[in-house]
A and B are shown apart, each in its own frame.
Chain A
Amino acid sequence: MSFAGALPSTYWRTRSALPGFGISLGFTVFYLSAVVLIPLAALIIRPWELGWSGFISEVTSPRVLAALKLSFGAAAIGAVLNSFFGLIVAWVLVRYKFPLKRLVDALVDLPFALPTAVAGIALSSLYAPNGWLGAPLMSLGIKAAYTPLGVVIALTFIGLPFVVRTLQPVLNDLSRDHEEAAATLGASRFQAFRRVVFPALLPALITGTALAFARAVGEYGSVIFIAGNLPMRSEIAPLLIIIKLEEFDYAGAASVGVVMLGASFLMLLTLNGLQSFTAARR
């Protein structure tokens, strides 16, 4: 019995009639390693020249902690704001008709498309004490620019599309059946929303909020102009990394970078976990 041309699929892959697997996968892995994996590995290794205790003391030093707290905290607040307003915007875009709706829809993508530095100087200008919005706020006694509040505002701008764009398809696909059933059973619109629609949206809302949070934590360009950049008060973590680099404290910069990277990976895992969890429940 000859086996001419009859080759088994290996454990690793199913043999395919289409050509080009070797070269496409090979190039993909090569490029991925060269541009992403090796540099990331280099970053992760770098702090270890400080040793484990050195790394810990670096990361828990007051200035670093303050910066991390600001970055994470402001991102969290911004994400929560976005989840609330993002839900409203998504609802309004999907369910209602009103003039200029298409324009609003396109605008939602603005933070995606607009370069962060442009957003940064615009926001800074807007909320500066003599800015269009900053002046009215000043007269109310609220200082927006150069404070943590400014950071929150910038991070809210950055995160908005994530919530809205995650919610829109889900809202679109939601059939009205359940709401109609609720109505026939005597529920008011608000009750129907709270008990029927909102639970269905919750997974997408959480995913969108988490995405907004993840994006905001590492944000630099849109924040750097409106933040005060005062150490311990209004200095964000990415700025601290740059400052350490300028002082040639590579290990210190890498340590903070590793913490931020770790947070990113954690978020990624949580998000993937969330998505498979919700997919399984469906």
Chain B
Amino acid sequence: MGSPMSLVVESIAKRFDRFPALKGVSFSAPTGCFLALLGPSGSGKTTLLRILGGLEFAESGRVKFEDVEWLSLPARERRAGFVFQQYALFRHMTVAKNIAFGLEVRGRRTRPPRAEIARRVEELLALVQLDGLGKRYPSQLSGGQRQRVALARALAIEPRMLLLDEPFGALDAKVRKELRLWLRHIHDKTGITTVFVTHDQEEAMELADLVAILNQGSIEQIGTPAEIRRAPASEFVADFIDIKAEGQPNPVIAKFEPRALRA
């Protein structure tokens, strides 16, 4: 990875009332990487993600992304696509309207013409393999389909950064496995810097370029999956990643051929 470090996080701290959710977290990641924030519940990973998305506010610290003072931008100006664990699809809008939302709410100057918006929606529906389902409502879709709509919606605004909060958490195991590889494929195709929160170490180690392991508000270790396996920085990491004896095979980063998703 020879790209410049475009995402720089410095000493981010956050408390909820008395509870310290994040205790001065710092790290950096290159442009276009697929970064996983991994950790048990309560480790602060979702809080960190939401701070990056502008949905929470840090008490101290600083974030720079592509040379922009990230935290001084309000959420709506960041163009950080956010995918929620419970999808947060607009229940009264069709799939197509959901995906088009980010484009339709733009000011007159930056809003594309209606035909263009429709075209992009079709494009994205094809990308997430939901062709022809544009007129359906979220309640008529399966969990896996809804999450793909959520992703398409986030991608519609051509985000600078893609943030996913345990996106497959509410889905069953088989669907998870399918969707996670497919997500990696989307990332490879679009090249967007992606930050992805999960508590499933297998998922993180299998998909990510860079994994940051959080525990109780601090980063225990950050590195490529191979680095972490080779040299876990602490007992917690070793335990969490479940590193067994030597000879552990390297994680398979998908040479992935897209096939029709059944989820």
Task: List residues of chain A with CB under 8 Å of any chain B CB.
Answer: 1-9, 14-15, 17
Contacts and interface: CB of A to CB of B under 8 A. Distances in A.
Interface in B58-87: 58-62, 69-75
Interface stretch (B49-57, B205-213, B233-241): B49-57
B10 A1 contact: yes
A4 B55 contact: no
B10 A15 contact: no
Given A4-B72, A6-B60, A6-B62, 14 more contacts: A1-B11, A3-B62, A4-B62, A4-B69, A4-B71, A5-B70, A6-B59, A6-B71, A7-B57, A8-B57, A8-B59, A17-B56, A17-B57, A17-B75
Size bracket of the B interface: 20 to 34
3 A-B pairs closest in CB distance: A5-B71, A5-B72, A17-B55
Contacts of A3: 60-62
Contacts of A14: 16
Given A6-B71, A17-B75, A1 B61 contact: yes
B25 to A, nearest CB: 13
B60 A1 contact: yes
Contacts of A2: 62, 69
A89 B46 CA distance: 50
B59 A5 contact: no
A1 B59 contact: no
Nearest to B56: A17
A1 B11 CA distance: 9
Contact of A6 (B16, B55, B57, B75): B57
Nearest to B57: A15
B27 to A, nearest CB: 16
Contacts of B61: 1, 3, 6
A7 to B, nearest CB: 6
Contacts of A15: 57
A264 B201 CA distance: 58
A8 B56 CA distance: 10
A184 to B, nearest CB: 39
A2 to B, nearest CB: 5
